[in-house]
Amino acid sequence: MSGPSKYIPQSGFEKWLDKRLPIIRFANDTLIDFPTPKNLNYWWTFGGILAIFLILQILTGIVLAMHYVAHVDFAFASIAHIMRDVNYGWLLRNMHMVGASFFFFAVYVHIFRGLYYGSYKEPREVLWGLGVIIFLLMVMTAFMGYVLPWGQMSFWAAKVITNLIGGIPFIGETIVTWLWGGFSVGQPTLNRFYSLHYLLPFVILGVVILHVWALHVPGNNNPTGVEVQDVEKETVPFHPYYTVKDGFAIVVFLMVYAWFVFYGPDLLGHPDNYIPANPQVTPAHIVPEWYFLPFYAILRAIDFDIFIIPAKFGGLAAMLGSILILLAVPWLDTSKIKSMRYRPWGRIAWFVFLANFILLGVCGFMPAEPPWTYIAKAATFVYFAYFLIVLPALGVIESPDMPPKSIADSIHPKADKSGAGNPVNVVVK
Amino acid sequence: MSDTSLNSTHEDGPTRRDMIHVATGAMMVGGGAMVAWPLVHQMNPAADTLAMASIEFDLATVPEGSQVKVMWRGSPVFIRHRTAAEIEQANKDDTATLRDPEANANRTKQADGSDGKAQYLIMEASCTHAGCIPVGVGENGYLGAFGGWFCPCHGSHYDTAGRIRQGPAPLNLIVPKYVYLSDTVVKIGV
Ligand code: HEM
Ligand code: FES
């Protein structure tokens, strides 16, 4: 939380600089002194993990760009050149490719953590909204990155997804031709996707800085969802307490990542992408990367017209809506209690939502035929129902447990005080 | 103390300063739009892309009952030499319930509106759902129910006139604009 800065410039240079550009003060206040609740668990380490992966993607990306050729005739061959001839090219490409998967895994954990502990609620709505924007930018970045190797899946994923934009009433076709820069996915498309794939991560970096800024005004939420009341008793400085805890989690996470980089770089990808792009042959079974499967399932689930909305546009709208709806969660969730720890029904709903999200992923992977088409429709309904029905209604009808009075209370419960984790069904309003 | 001449809401009505504010604002908006348009429009198809927008093809190379794919504007186009039975079926289906109603006779018209040739069905090989290449009848993987084309991606069925009959695709397969240059040579893209 932003309070008076505790930074005292030591050397003469620091004093001189502090009067001109207090950048050391800023770094100190965000990374060293920043008061952090004592009770954060390991689900809070994924923010740090995400920061590491953004840096990893940018570093490996910049060096890949030194060898990659964004041309329909050479792109595929340039990837083979990176894999076989460039010194450590195989390592750098595997790091980038597997890095994208782990980046998404971490962001999903991070988002579901926020949903469980109510981290989107007042006063963190802006923080949450910036996170959703980062996620959207990540989706665009990864989608365009996947096109670059110019394999069969690259080409057909690009074609299918851009074609769906053509479903937007009236202006769709114009937008698609504009995106392609031609009459189908081709050289102009690859070239501009490369340009944007290079650009967007830096836009993400910018929004991440805003995200961290918005975190440092209200400070961290914590597993109890009760705000810090006594900074002295309930927080510790970020360094060394959380630099070490985050660092430990980062190392463990990187170990799993390294296993994939070295032993299973293609386990998470699709073999068809090692066939050069061929605009004359559609692969038998087009699937996106695993991290897009739940949203792909929602896209395909709408294969019927809804009144005057044609199926093609309906699918696109549902897919975008399934991400954009996250922006509204702070206002859709009516419960005064932040943490699902103290919401018996909310907690069950959250687990159902998580299981349903994984089920959507399975649906996205399976061919679009019964019974999967029906399961996908039901799961799409459950996805939206969580936000539009369950969260708004539960806040009114659920009687939550009593959260502890304070973080300090939850750490050192006092026997004489009521509350302190006692399930005494009192409606807190 | 603010000088009244600096104040834009002058009691005697608009001042010369207001005029300058409005004019400057208008120039900035207009100038901004003029700079933005080239930045947006550069992404539209370039002149050389547009220049390659037509091809010529000799239909005599397609035997009856078969189909070829030719590349046009970076994507394949179906040229199907239909059998008499297929044409008859297509005519019969004119009265079926069609999602995108269009008579078979209109599916082989030239760009100028005159009749083409009923036996040569020329269509973009791109499913109107999301752009996969449909599988033609007789080809490997054909599962269609209407004797024409079947899209494996999400299961759209097209009939012998390339009309959508079942599945998520909203429209019939697109007939590109073409004209016959001679009895057998067709120019696609006009
Ligand atoms: C948000 C961060 C990023 C994500 C999620 C991401 C994701 C991806 C993905 C999924 C691929 C396809 C991997 C494959 O199948 O081969 C890719 C390829 C590529 N990316 Fe990125 N990327 C990111 C940042 C960057 C940056 C900052 C650059 C350049 C400065 C870059 C340059 C490249 C290049 C040159 C390729 C083609 C080589 C290859 O496919 O391995 N990326 N990216
Ligand atoms: S692309 Fe043909 S059915 Fe979806």
Q: What is the DSSP string of A365-428?
A: HS-S-TTHHHHHHHHHHHHHHIIIIIHHHHHHH--PPPPPSSHHHHHS--TTSS-TT-------
Closest Cα in chain A to B125:
A280
- Put simply, the answer to whether B129 touches A312 (Cβ < 8 Å) is yes
Ligand 2, atom 3, lies closest to the CA of: B154
A313 and A227, same structural domain?
A: no
A219 and A105, same structural domain?
A: yes
Q: Check if B156 has its Cβ closer than 6 Å to any atom of ligand 2.
A: yes
Q: Which of B43, B49, B74 sits opposite A178 (nearest CB)?
A: B43
d(CA B80, CA B158): 14
SS3 call for A26: helix
Closest Cα in chain B to A165:
B130
A296 and A192, same structural domain?
A: no
What separation in Å is there between the alpha carbon of A62 and the centre of ligand 1?
Answer: 9
Q: Check if B153 has its Cβ closer than 6 Å to any atom of ligand 2.
A: yes
How many structural domains compose chain A? 2
Domain with residue A114: its CATH number is 1.20.810.10
Quickly count: other Cβ atoms within 10 Å of residue A12's Cβ: 8
A127 and A270, same structural domain?
A: yes
The verdict on residue A169 lying in a domain is yes
Give the position of tokens 């067709």.
Answer: B186
- Put simply, the answer to whether B153 touches A188 (Cβ < 8 Å) is no
The verdict on residue A11 lying in a domain is no
A338 and A372, same structural domain?
A: yes
Higher pLDDT, B4 or A200: A200
Which tens digits make up the pLDDT trace of A159-205? 999 988 888 888 998 999 999 999 999 999 999 999 999 999 999 99
The verdict on residue A20 lying in a domain is no
Ligand 1 is surrounded, with C-beta below 6 A, by: A 57-58, 61-62, 64-65, 68, 79, 93, 96-97, 100, 103, 138, 141-142, 145-146, 148-149, 197-198, 201, 204
Q: By the 8 A CB rule, do A202 and A209 touch?
A: no
Examine the pLDDT at A426 and tell me if it is beyond 50.
no
User: What class has domain B49-188?
Assistant: mainly beta
What is chain A's mean pLDDT, rounded? Answer: 92
All residues at 6 or more sequence positions from B86 whose CB lies less than 8 Å from its CB, including other chains = B147, B160
pTM of the model: 0.89
A177 and A47, same structural domain?
A: yes
A320 and A185, same structural domain?
A: no
Sign of CA dihedral B108, B110, B113, B117: negative
The verdict on residue A41 lying in a domain is yes
A303 and A269, same structural domain?
A: no
The mean-pLDDT minimum among A17-31, A71-85, A101-115, A342-356 falls in A17-31
Examine the pLDDT at A142 and tell me if it is beyond 50.
yes
Q: Has B154 been annotated as catalytic? A: yes
d(CA A246, CA A318): 36
Examine the pLDDT at A128 and tell me if it is beyond 90.
yes
pLDDT at A300: 87
Note whether ipTM > 0.90 here: no
The domain in which residue A383 lies consists of 289-402
Which tens digits make up the pLDDT trace of B102-153? 999 999 999 999 998 999 999 999 999 888 999 999 888 888 889 999 998 8
d(CA B148, CA B140): 13
Q: Which atom of ligand 1 is nearest to the CA of A154?
A: 15
Query: Region A15-22: what's the mean pLDDT?
Result: 95
Q: By the 8 A CB rule, do A300 and B154 touch?
A: yes
For an interface test with A, which of B73, B153, B157, B164 has the most A Cβ atoms less than 10 Å from its Cβ? Answer: B153
Contacting residues of B for A161, CB less than 8 Å apart: 130
A166 and A233, same structural domain?
A: yes
pLDDT-derived band at A58, boundaries 50, 70, 90: very high
Q: Check if B171 has its Cβ closer than 6 Å to any atom of ligand 2.
A: no
A199 and A302, same structural domain?
A: no
A224 and A148, same structural domain?
A: yes
Q: By the 8 A CB rule, do B151 and B162 touch?
A: no
Query: Region A395-402: what's the mean pLDDT?
Result: 93
pLDDT at A425: 44
A211 and A142, same structural domain?
A: yes
pLDDT at A312: 82
User: Which stretch of DSSP H or E encloses residue B81?
Assistant: strand B75-81
